[in-house]
Amino acid sequence: MRDAVLTAFLLFVLAGVSGLFDLTHRAEADGDGVLAVIETPLTTRAGSDIQLALDLTNETGLPRQVTLRIERSYLALFEDLSFTPQPVAERAVAPEAVELVFEVPEGARTVRISAEGRAADAWTPTATGALTVEPGEQEFTLRTWRLP
């Protein structure tokens, strides 16, 4: 009995160390000297608060504007969506994406853009979509699983 409990405990610890219980997904990409690091939720439940965070870094300084193109299929995950900082411009790009333009303080080497809201009540197993960052043309595939 003691061996079974010890084995179960070790398997539980190994699952945690391997990231099986992680609540967020982190990815990074480098393009044109701009390092983009994104953190998204792996899972959510309807009505839960959720956040997507994007950090951009360039040692020589970022351009004055950053553009994000996000597919609507992923944005449908959010209700009461708000961005920090607020975008200075928004436009639809075809029927499947939205383009958001953010101002960056002059001389800034890093900036964080976050999207916050509540998980929508509409239920589908996953919310997927792509996010493209300019400058650098980094593209991320976003996927969040919805739990009942």
pLDDT digits (tens, 9 = 90+) for 51-88: 999 999 999 999 999 999 999 999 999 999 999 999 99
Tell me which CATH code domain 23-147 carries. Answer: 2.60.40.3670
Highest mean pLDDT of the ranges 26-35, 110-119, 132-141: 110-119
pTM of the model: 0.81
Give the angle subtended at the CA of 113 by the CAs of 53 and 141, to the nearest 5°.
50
Is residue 147 packed enough to be buried (19+ CB in 10 Å), middle (13-18) or exposed (0-12)? Answer: exposed
